[in-house]
Amino acid sequence: MAQNPNMTHLELGEVVALPPLWIRCDGSDPEHTYWLGAEPLKAGNKITGINLYMVTCDADKTCFANLEELKMEHKINHHSSVVTTKGFAQYELIRAAAIEDTTVESESSICVDITWNTVDKILETPPLISAATLNIGLESGDPRSPVYQLYRELQFLLGLAEGLKTGVTEWPELLESEPAFELVQEFLTDKLFQKIRCDTEAVDSSMKSIFSERGDLDFAEQLWCKMKSVCSYQELVMCFTLILKSLERGEIQPWIHHGSSSLLSKLIQQSYHGKIEAVALTGITPIQMLLEIGLDKMKKDYVSYFIGQELATLTYLDYFISTSVDLQEQVHRVQKLHHMLEIMVSCTVLLQFKHENLFPLTQICMKYYRENPLDEKHVFQLPIRSALVNKFYQDDHPKVWKVDISSGHGPKEVKTTWQVTTNPLVEHMTSNNTGLLSDSTVAGSSEESMYFITVVKCSQVQFT
């Protein structure tokens, strides 16, 4: 009444559009109503009517609705002769299960949202020509990931960076068969000076075809592969003392990649001319030296993947590997590179994506991460053809299935929505609802799934 300009006897003066009004209900009525809503309709600044909504949710039905009956009910309620239907379905393609021996469950998942026009029956499978959007939310660190060893390497790098910030470094436990000092010692005293084969500790055999090991590791990068197992500050100092002495004596003249900016690389370059500056291996200096060579190595690992797979150019990657920012920011950007790598590898392995799909996904991820901080809970969206992933969901139940039945045009359009979900859309539903149980599994779960049916009905009051 307060919105109706025809209520002149109320002496309301100028009618100002109110915000939408929604009333939360307890669902105790026969229809199980959980929300009632009212939203003003406007044409410019003029209020032309009110849309009234009723939201019901039920988990006690024994069968699903009939689409023809829903369409007929809509026609009768809204005095319309023609209705249109639009479908929506969401399928969960990948869901990360809880990792054994941990209390944290990963929130990683890959879902696909599919929309199509003209629905023929309730719960129909979307046509293969339907428009689809892939929703990718992946967190790093799953031990089953093909790049898990690289993730562990990154975690050691992050530990060093944190140590520089706080002054306290947490060293990993000895996991290798030999201590880092002995590995470095053997590396430096190799009497035959054979070309040291690429250290492949950071490359799991299951991912070699996807994330190829680099065969061009320079001296500093090979040292990182040995020293990433260092277990104490004292051992770190011992390793660098051994390295610097070998350089000072001219016992080694190792090659390094052009453009490396680490302190160790500068000392190696100086050694070519027979003299290197004195470096006090005290305070944070050894930690910073190790962090620098680790950053250099890991940046090249990621660049090698993205360029090797023709997913990005060096120019486009420049932001992520820039040395013009401080070390902490460089580490932050390397984390972004790793998260993008996890996404690409997962889509390659699990969804069998080819370059034509990975390339646009890479561009979406890189654009986001050039403008935003690291956020592993962010959901990246990629428009695709539903036929690309239909084999992953064609035998599954949808997580969400919805049909919109509508009539009228523009501001006079009214809609009835019927939706079935595996989770209640109404958060204040009472816990004693028993729900509908499916007769098969959903997304690989061995448990029966509960379904909830939500119906949104709209009616319209016109003031003009």
Instruction: List, for residues 170-203, the tens digit of each pLDDT value.
Output: 888 776 667 888 888 888 776 234 434 433 333 3
Report if residue 228 sits inside a domain: yes
Taking only the tens place, the pLDDT of each residue in 210-244 is 566 677 888 899 999 889 889 999 999 999 999 99
Range of lowest pLDDT (275-284, 315-324, 447-456): 447-456
Report if residue 324 sits inside a domain: yes
CA distance 438 to 447: 9
CA distance 294 to 74: 64
Q: At what angle do helices 285-308 and 327-350 cross, to 10 degrees?
A: 40
Report if residue 88 sits inside a domain: no
Once rounded to an integer, what is the mean pLDDT over residues 54-77?
A: 86
To which H or E segment does residue 296 belong?
helix 285-308
245 and 361 together in one domain: yes
Taking only the tens place, the pLDDT of each residue in 16-25 is 778 899 999 9
Cβ burial, residue 181 (10 Å; 0-12/13-18/19+): buried
Which pTM was predicted? 0.83
Which of these three, 358, 375, 392, is where a domain ends? 375
Helices (H), 124-218: 148-166, 180-188
Examine the pLDDT at 50 and tell me if it is beyond 80.
yes
297 and 425 together in one domain: no
Which of these three, 355, 375, 395, is where a domain ends? 375
228 and 323 together in one domain: yes
* CATH, residue 349: 1.20.58.730
Report if residue 108 sits inside a domain: no
> Which band of pLDDT confidence, cut at 50, 70 and 90, is reported for residue 302?
very high
Query: What's CA 222's distance to the chain center, in Å?
Result: 32
Which pair of structure tokens corresponds to residue 138? 């992946």
Instruction: Tally DSSP H helices, then E strands, for the chain.
Output: 11, 11
- The residue with greater pLDDT, 432 or 160, is 160
To which H or E segment does residue 317 belong?
helix 314-321
To which H or E segment does residue 38 belong?
strand 33-43
pLDDT of residue 253: 80
75 and 160 together in one domain: no
Strands (E), 240-379: none
On whether the CB atoms of residues 374 and 407 are closer than 8 A, the answer is no
Range of lowest pLDDT (47-61, 136-150, 179-193, 374-388): 179-193
Examine the pLDDT at 13 and tell me if it is beyond 80.
no
Report if residue 390 sits inside a domain: no
Q: Are strands 46-58 and 436-437 parallel, antiparallel or unpaired?
A: unpaired
- The residue with greater pLDDT, 102 or 135, is 135
The three-state secondary structure class of 420 is strand
Which of these three, 357, 375, 393, is where a domain ends? 375
- DSSP calls for 42-107: EETTEEEEEEEEEEEEES--SSPPPHHHHHHHHHHHHT-S--EEEEEEEEEEEEPPPPTT-SPPP-
367 and 431 together in one domain: no
> Which band of pLDDT confidence, cut at 50, 70 and 90, is reported for residue 61?
low
Range of lowest pLDDT (90-94, 237-241, 432-436): 432-436
**Owner of token pair 């993730």:** 151
pLDDT of residue 322: 94
pLDDT of residue 176: 60
161 and 51 together in one domain: no
357 and 433 together in one domain: no
To which H or E segment does residue 401 belong?
strand 400-407
CA distance 135 to 111: 5
Once rounded to an integer, what is the mean pLDDT over residues 364-381?
A: 96
- Domain count across the chain: 2
235 and 317 together in one domain: yes
Taking only the tens place, the pLDDT of each residue in 306-338 is 999 999 999 999 999 999 999 999 999 999 999
168 and 301 together in one domain: yes
Q: What is the largest CA-CA distance in the chain?
A: 104
Q: What spatial distance separates the first Cα and last Cα of the chain, rounded to whole Å?
A: 14
> Which band of pLDDT confidence, cut at 50, 70 and 90, is reported for residue 430?
low
Examine the pLDDT at 95 and tell me if it is beyond 80.
no
Domain of residue 189 covers 147-375
Strands (E), 271-387: 380-385
pLDDT of residue 190: 66
254 and 357 together in one domain: yes
Q: Are strands 380-385 and 400-407 parallel, antiparallel or unpaired?
A: unpaired
Examine the pLDDT at 450 and tell me if it is beyond 80.
no
Examine the pLDDT at 444 and tell me if it is beyond 80.
no
Report if residue 139 sits inside a domain: no
Which pair of structure tokens corresponds to residue 22? 């929604």
pLDDT of residue 44: 81
Report if residue 232 sits inside a domain: yes
On whether the CB atoms of residues 279 and 267 are closer than 8 A, the answer is yes
Q: Which residues of 182-204 are buried (b: 16+ CB within 10 A; e: fewer)?
A: ebbbebbeeeeeeeeeebeebbe
Taking only the tens place, the pLDDT of each residue in 383-428 is 999 999 999 998 888 999 999 999 988 888 899 999 999 888 877 7
DSSP at 170: -
pLDDT of residue 273: 86
On whether the CB atoms of residues 187 and 221 are closer than 8 A, the answer is no
**Owner of token pair 């390793």:** 239
Report if residue 177 sits inside a domain: yes
63 and 190 together in one domain: no
Range of lowest pLDDT (98-112, 194-208, 358-372): 194-208
